[in-house]
Amino acid sequence: MTTSGTDFASTDCGFGNGNAPQGAASNGSPLAFQPHRLVRNGTMQTLLARWRPRQADAFLAHEQPILLDAGVDRTGIDPDHPVRLLGYYNRSSAADNRGLVLLLHGWEGCSHAVHNIMLADSLLRAGYDVFRLNFRDHGPGLHANPYALNRGVFFGTLLEEVATATHRIAAMAGDRPFYIAGPSMGGNFALRLAVWHGHDPFHNLARVVAISPAISPGNATLALDRRPLYQRYFRDRWLKSLATKAALFPDLYDFSSLDPTAPVYALTDTLVRMIGAYDSAEEYFDVYAVMGDSFRNLTVPSHIITAADDAVIPVQDFYDLTPHPLLDVQIFPTGGHVGFMDILPFRHFLPGMLVELLDQSS
């Protein structure tokens, strides 16, 4: 697997701390991440993050599946029926309850992905209740077939249904603080929900955290296509998902003409044209990008944690963001894509980072 080409030692980010791009505001103390020299490589960081300690998923025995009415279906496929999104709720057993955290997942991930399990475990131990929401056409398939819940295909632009579900989840917090966090595509959704909060506030939303967010989905897809193993991994999972959807709704979909060897960007272009959702992949990706001055109307403290050696999220995108006093961007020299791992002892650092940021609101 190719690396991102970023030399840990040559980066202008300070060693051990996340640094904000010049002019970006910081609404919290810099986080610390000083991994062992042997794991200061983006690809290694990304691969190591797949490790899940056996004890970390003990809380799954107590999870409560909840099927949410997520409002009107904006795909145009099923306007007479509400969108249904499945999530999993866990209540912390800690004596001091500190609020409710909504965790979102990455593209082709789900509520039970390693990242979500590790984050949820640490949050529950720290006193936070956790709701892990699955996007349309995503999920572990434990209590329902995620592809059968809605007839329309998932697109990253379907923010309204996620916002509707978020309102319902936020209400579960009662008089406690509510938080939103997510990695990768989930980080993109988290940031867009932070912006959404400015015109349609979520109950008691106190803070938003995005980890390795795809703030420019188009640039992220092009970067992914330049790395064959990353490309193959996501492309194969996506095509499998589309095939499952087509098998359930053969009257609506036939994806057999999609080239299984094509770049993900080209496949996206073909798919959005095929379904008639957008005129091109470029138009589609631009709709849900959070670039430039996207945060001009931000009203809630929001944090971005990312790494200069992330192979699929170009670091330059973060330097192009317009500063905002409520937006804190911390770029680490290493960490890979949703990695942030260390050895001696072997451990995940992201869960601790997230808890540290949320604790600032306590």
267 HSE (CA, 13 A, CB side)? 23
Structure tokens at 63: 């999870």
SS3 string, 145-204, reads: CCCCCCCCCCCCCCHHHHHHHHHHHHHCCCCCCEEEEEECHHHHHHHHHHHHCCCCCCCC
C-alpha dihedral over 217, 116, 89, 94, to 10 degrees? -130
Residue 5 has what pLDDT? 27
- Chain centroid to CA 186: 2
Query: What's the CA gap between 175 and 201, in Å, rounded?
Result: 15
Q: Is 304 helix (H, G, I), strand (E, B) or coil?
A: strand
SS3 content of the chain, % helix, strand, coil (to 5): 35, 15, 50
Ranges of H-type helices in 201-302:
217-225, 228-248, 264-275, 281-287
Q: Are 323 and 295 in contact (CB under 8 A)?
A: no
Residue 32 has what pLDDT? 85
- Kindly list the distances between the CA atom of residue 309 and the CA atoms of 142, 254, 330, in Å, as whole numbers in the listed order: 35, 38, 13
Query: What's the CA gap between 313 and 336, in Å, rounded?
Result: 9
Which CATH superfamily hosts domain 8-217+289-359? Answer: Alpha/Beta hydrolase fold, catalytic domain (3.40.50.1820)
pTM of the predicted protein model: 0.91
- DSSP 8-state code for residue 98: -
Residue among 91, 109, 85, 106 nearest 163 (CA) = 85
Other CB atoms within 10 Å distance of the CB of residue 53: 14
Other CB atoms within 10 Å distance of the CB of residue 84: 18
Query: What's the CA gap between 183 and 208, in Å, rounded?
Result: 12
Query: What's the CA gap between 300 and 282, in Å, rounded?
Result: 29
Q: Position of tokens 């963001």?
A: 321
Per-residue pLDDT of the chain (362 residues; tens, 9 = 90+): 222 222 222 222 222 345 555 434 344 567 889 899 999 988 999 999 899 888 888 999 999 999 999 999 999 999 999 999 999 999 999 999 999 999 999 999 999 999 999 999 999 999 999 999 999 999 998 889 999 999 999 999 999 999 999 999 999 999 999 999 999 999 999 999 999 999 999 999 999 999 999 999 999 999 999 999 999 999 999 999 999 999 999 999 999 999 999 999 999 999 999 998 899 999 999 999 999 999 999 999 999 999 999 999 999 999 999 999 999 999 999 999 999 999 989 999 999 999 999 999 86
Query: What's the CA gap between 280 and 320, in Å, rounded?
Result: 24
Q: Does 351 sit behind a cis peptide bond, omega within 30 degrees of 0 on the bond before it?
A: no
Q: Are 321 and 295 in contact (CB under 8 A)?
A: yes
Q: Rounded to the nearest 5 degrees, what angle is found at the Cα of 176, between the Cα atoms of 172 and 180?
A: 70
Find the farthest-apart pair of alpha carbons in the chain and give their distance in angstroms, rounded: 57
Write out the H or E segment, with its range, that includes residue 16: none
Query: What's the CA gap between 155 and 198, in Å, rounded?
Result: 23
